[in-house]
Amino acid sequence: MSYVALRKAGAGADPRGVRAHISMIEPLEVDVGSAEELICYDAQISFMIVGKGNDCWKAYCNVDSWFGSEKDVDAYLANDEDGPSGGARLASDLCLDPKEYFLLVLSQRFRQTGMEWGNLCDVLMARTDTYESRYLQTIDTADLRDDQAMSRTRSYSKAASMLRQYHDTLSTTLDRLQDFLNRNEDTFKDQKDFQDQCGCYFRTIDIEFTHLSRWRQRLHERMQRFDMMRDGLLNASVLRESRRSTQQASDIETEHNIAGLLAGTTDSRLTTHGALQTQRLARSLVQERAIHFTHIFSSDLSRACLTADAIHNAQLGEKSSERVKAERIVLDILREQDFGSLECRPWTSKAAATRASSNLLDPDHPDFKPKETQEAMATRMNTFLNETLLPLLAADSEIGSKVAVVSHGIILSVLWRILLQQFGAGSVSLGPEVSASTGSRPLEYLPGWSNTGYLELDINCAQVRPDLDIPRSPNTDLRVSVLSGYKMLIRAINRKDHLNNLKRTRGGLGSTAFDAKQKSLEGFFKKPKIEVQNHKAG
């Protein structure tokens, strides 16, 4: 039976260093320093009876007692209380039936486990309540954003990670106990007299199982709320940076973002100014920087398709001997986050969106559609990485590929975090132009992209310069990396020098919807080219 022992800091530490321990979540309060420092220790209890029959058997009980008062076996043997059952009976008055003794120990130790979980969850709920209160207070204000170091997102992520860890540990304990009882039901309930004699033990187990099942449900609900709040902070930060970029004329323009409306999966058309931005991007990559892509992946939404087409067409028009024919692939899995009922609603605040359509924001309304969660987006990007990018990297490891992924700000941020998790510690380094601009912000949380801005990466097996002290979130997944044999060099983050000196067309024309049939003024005054075509006779 696994549980988490909650103790005051400095008390009951494990001198063996066997059990992992972490600090309890700190409450989000002004006087945080006055909060009692608590430590959570992994702990477990194991019990086994072996023997040939009722007359010859041995019991083994392993208890994590470093967090209590008894530090060694002698402390248990110093009195007449039975150690394995936690003193439920006197050692001189033990029952001799091994099955009854097993149920006695199981019920008492399960009750102890229930008390430990109850103490932990009581404190956990009280402290996480402060996070939820803070979030609800700021959801309709300008405070619903994060700082440069993403400290709020990191604190919510840590809380969500801790909730998930405790939920999973408690679920494992309950599932194992339920499985054990199901497999051994005939062993313990084969005789009615035995059931009557040991009914109190079964009732204790049932009561504690019910209590712990309720705690598991509460942990699950709290975990879901924290995931939602963390997503809200991430999205608010990305959208706020995107809106600021739009106001500075550096974001790719569509009809919806110029109007301040959310357009996740909505197929919002580029404005005339947005089309000029994509052309600048294509010319910069292909003509000025001479980058020839072997693969161009894009979302199926028109604003991404037009950007990818501009790059593809610029590459096709190149007359260089190094011209590479790029494979152009459109994937709906690269779509932006689906905002559900918030699609096409004002992004300035939740209050503005509510005024726009209060019915559709009511979860009980039949037409309500929830927004796509962070986990669902991560699943999409894992699929794209595992089924598209990683096989491509493995197949072309000797030849070398230049890959462009043309998508959208929020989903690209998710893809970046998924990709970063594939690399081992010390295998990611920063280019000279990037080092000074990252500051204290963890690599997992890059600044929001201007959509014609791009992240430039080199991934290969070659040695790169020694790794810098790059800040990473304390909750970064430490699993064995898929790309453990590879190195990644980050050359640029949100590069957008191709937009320098790009002026908006006056008179409001730059904000009108882009029409591919329109000609620029330069196109009207150019002399037509005379082309000679050879046609095959017949």
Q: Over 80: is that where the pLDDT of 364 sits?
A: no
Q: For residues 69 and 72, what is the distance between their CA atoms, to the nearest angstrom?
A: 9
Q: What is the pLDDT of residues 292-311, one digit of tens each?
A: 899 999 999 888 888 999 99
Query: Residue written as tokens 């072997």?
Result: 294
CB neighbours (10 Å) of residue 223? 21
Q: Over 70: is that where the pLDDT of 389 sits?
A: yes
Backbone angles phi, psi at 107, to 5 degrees: -65, -40
Backbone angles phi, psi at 414, to 5 degrees: -65, -45
Mean pLDDT, residues 168-174 taken together: 89
Residue 151, pLDDT score = 65
Q: Over 70: is that where the pLDDT of 250 sits?
A: no
Q: What is the pLDDT of residues 309-331, one digit of tens each?
A: 999 999 887 765 555 678 899 99
The confidence band for 477, taking pLDDT boundaries of 50, 70 and 90, is very low
For the chain, the distance separating the N- and C-terminal CA atoms, rounded to the nearest angstrom, is 85
The confidence band for 272, taking pLDDT boundaries of 50, 70 and 90, is confident
The confidence band for 37, taking pLDDT boundaries of 50, 70 and 90, is confident
Q: What is the pLDDT of residues 62-100, one digit of tens each?
A: 887 665 555 666 766 777 778 788 778 887 777 778 888
Q: Over 60: is that where the pLDDT of 246 sits?
A: no
Least confident of 64-68, 189-193, 315-319, 474-478: 474-478
Residue 406, pLDDT score = 93
Query: Residue written as tokens 């204790």?
Result: 204
DSSP state of 526: S
What are the structural domains of the chain? 2-242 (no CATH), 261-337+372-511 (3.40.50.1240)
> pTM for the complete prediction?
0.53
The overall average pLDDT reported for the chain is: 74
Percent of the residues in the chain that have a pLDDT greater than 70, as a whole number? 64
Q: Over 80: is that where the pLDDT of 478 sits?
A: no
The confidence band for 423, taking pLDDT boundaries of 50, 70 and 90, is confident
Q: Over 80: is that where the pLDDT of 102 sits?
A: yes
